[in-house]
Amino acid sequence: MLRKLLILLSALLLTACDLQMRDLKPGVSTAADVTKAMGKHSFEWKNPDGGVTWEFPRGPAGVVTYMVTLGPDGVLREIAQVLNDQTFAKLQPGMTTDQVRRLIGRPAETMKFANLQEDVWSWKYETGPNEEWMYHVHFNLADGKLKRTSRNRVGTPP
């Protein structure tokens, strides 16, 4: 019972944070504004122009991950929700784990399959109301490069 209550409270807090995102405006909002609205980022990527991209996964198996790009001046440039088919389409065989993480953020879960020589990273995402899917990226254990991707609807076997 207590566990269910804690999960519900966590979900409500994340929803409240995400609602505050509506106040963030590219070209105007600062890094401090982003942190106030979204909380602490889970990872920071350095960009070639001197700016940064912050990663905000929502929950261990949430259906949303935001990438927030700040310019070298610390001003917001872009907020992108990256768990979607458009971003998944950018993933190509041969990409490294770092390249994949940079595009779609930290996975909800990872599993190694020695018999297939694969390390599989998975993300939950939505394609519409009550349509949750798992997106899987299969890396070759030998070289750590992306071999293939797959997906399955939540509640159905892969």
For the chain, 158 residues long, the average pLDDT of each consecutive 10-residue run is 43 48 93 95 96 90 92 97 96 98 95 96 91 95 97 79
Q: Biggest alpha carbon distance in the chain?
A: 52
Smallest Cα–Cα separation from 148: which of 131, 133, 135? 135
Token pair listed for 132: 């949750």
Beta strands in 3-103 (DSSP E): 43-46, 52-57, 65-70, 76-81
pLDDT at position 22 is 87
pLDDT at position 10 is 44
Annotated domain spans of the chain: 2-81, 85-153
Token pair listed for 9: 């409270």
CA-derived radius of gyration, the chain? 17
Predicted model pTM: 0.82
CATH number at 85-153: 3.30.1450.10
Handedness of CA 9, 12, 18, 20 (dihedral sign): negative
Smallest Cα–Cα separation from 76: which of 15, 17, 120, 27? 27
CATH for 2-81, options being 3.30.1450, 3.90.1690, 2.60.120, 3.30.2310: 3.30.1450
- Phi, psi of 13, deg, nearest 5: -65, -40
